[in-house]
Amino acid sequence: MSLVDAVTEAFAELAGRPPEGVWRAPGRVNLIGEHTDYNDGFVLPVAINRSVVVAAARRDDGVLRCWSSRDRSEPVSHPVAEVGPGTSSGWSAYVEGTAWALRELGVPVPGADVVVHADLPAGAGLSSSAALEAAVALALSDLAGSTVDRVALALAGQRAETEVVGMPCGIMDQMAVLLGRAGHAVFLDTRTRMTELVPFDPAAAGLTLLVIDTRVKHALVGSPYAERRRACERAAAALGVPALRDATIDDLEAGRASGALDEVTFRRARHVVTENDRVLEAVDLLRRGALTSIGPALAGSHRSLRDDYEVSCPELDVAVDAAVTGGAVGARMTGGGFGGSALALTPVDAVDRVTETVTKAFAEAGFGPPAVFAVSIAGGAERVSG
Ligand code: GLA
């Protein structure tokens, strides 16, 4: 059964009436540009063909009720005027937080029944949170008859996540899932929010984009993510720049020599500064259609995240090394890290070998089996029925 049929059926069963519409938002794989988005830097994500779908219909009593198709027990139910920071928790905080952030924008969010369903694994580093926020943001603004632009919807999702869920994320994921386009990567300057859709068609280059889900669950709320972010802010302040986007390697070296940056802060900052360069390099290669040449940039990104930023984990390192041994032209961890997924850009005829090599390496290391699957580059969030 399709995702849309499944969520429509679940809605009828749980809410006892048909939905007014169904909205879909994709997950994302970030090709390169990790932990740069809260430093005013560059990122290059793609939206993928794994999604969160939301079926919804208005209620006239101002109550927001939400169900997950996985857990068909009682809905989480609160007056929409009362949801927001400090009042929402658990998975429904993403839904209620988004409703709150839209209201803060002046969108007259109505009461609604909302049912959530997905084929995008949660906690796998593929932005299931941003996908849920984006699908809900589109659904509720449509039901409110409002036409908020996509950048504003992305910012509302980020605000929900930061202020209601408690994860101080950047803007990459929300922008990727709202602005992605099939066959393209989203080159985003997180300072200006300028985006450029850069052609990214692995199949045309004889490649497949593989995701290796380590199945190590990362919980970025309350994780070292916030600590990394603070280290970057400390480094920028010590160097007297608005954000690490504005620093050069020479600035960092000078800061280390003068004692303004301690060794760890220096390495955190070096990751960000070198990663921004690698994004620009990858964008340049993609613009020239040289997809198969981005391997070294991907490898450099992974090394930097592992050694300087220290957000990888043994499972991600094994996944990346084994993918390259199996024949991938490039591989690296993708997303926040501390578990989650790696990407492996793989020649079509090496897909089986990469999958086997990774699976075997996990078994030999004593890790649980990973999930290895191909993804295609999909479009951004949209209304899919109703
Ligand atoms: C998470 C955050 C993003 C970004 C990445 C790391 O996915 O939600 O904003 O910071 O980590 O690049």
Residue nearest to atom 9 of ligand 1 (CA): 170
Residues 64 and 163 reside in one and the same domain: yes
Does the pLDDT value for residue 227 go beyond 90? yes
DSSP annotation of 54 reads: E
Residues 52 and 88 reside in one and the same domain: yes
Residues 207 and 255 reside in one and the same domain: yes
The count of domains in the chain is 2
Phi, psi values for residue 234, rounded to 5°? -60, -45
Residues 191 and 205 reside in one and the same domain: no
Residues 319 and 360 reside in one and the same domain: yes
**DSSP code per residue over 229-242:** HHHHHHHHHHHT-S
Q: Does residue 35's CB lie within 6 angstroms of at least one atom of ligand 1?
A: yes
The domain that holds 179 is classified in CATH as 3.30.230.10
CA of 53 from ligand 1 middle (Å) equals: 22
**Amino acid 72: pLDDT:** 79
Does the pLDDT value for residue 183 go beyond 90? yes
CA–CA distance, 253 with 331 (Å, rounded to integer): 29
Residues 192 and 249 reside in one and the same domain: no
The domain that holds 252 is classified in CATH as 3.30.70.890
**Amino acid 79: pLDDT:** 97
Residues 143 and 218 reside in one and the same domain: no
CA–CA distance, 173 with 113 (Å, rounded to integer): 25
Residues 281 and 149 reside in one and the same domain: no
Does the pLDDT value for residue 107 go beyond 80? yes
Render pLDDT for 120-163 as a digit per residue (tens, 0 to 9): 999 899 999 999 999 999 999 999 999 899 999 999 999 999 99
CA–CA distance, 278 with 300 (Å, rounded to integer): 8
> What proportion of the chain, given as a percentage, has pLDDT over 90?
95
Residues 182 and 209 reside in one and the same domain: no
Residues 132 and 13 reside in one and the same domain: yes
Residues 27 and 58 reside in one and the same domain: yes
What is the band of 219 on the pLDDT scale with cuts at 50, 70, 90?
low
Does the pLDDT value for residue 97 go beyond 60? yes
CA of 182 from ligand 1 middle (Å) equals: 21
Residues 168 and 271 reside in one and the same domain: no
Q: Which two tokens stand for residue 371?
A: 């999930």
Mean pLDDT of 243-270: 98
Domain that holds residue 344: 201-375
Render pLDDT for 364-383 as a digit per residue (tens, 0 to 9): 999 999 999 999 999 999 99
Q: Does residue 170's CB lie within 6 angstroms of at least one atom of ligand 1?
A: yes
Q: Looking at the DSSP assignment, which residues form a beta bridge with residue 334?
A: 341
Number of other residues whose CB lies within 10 A of the CB of residue 235? 28
Does the pLDDT value for residue 223 go beyond 90? no
DSSP annotation of 246 reads: G
Beta strands in the chain (DSSP E): 21-30, 42-43, 45-59, 63-68, 71-79, 111-118, 184-189, 194-199, 207-213, 330-334, 341-347, 371-375, 382-385
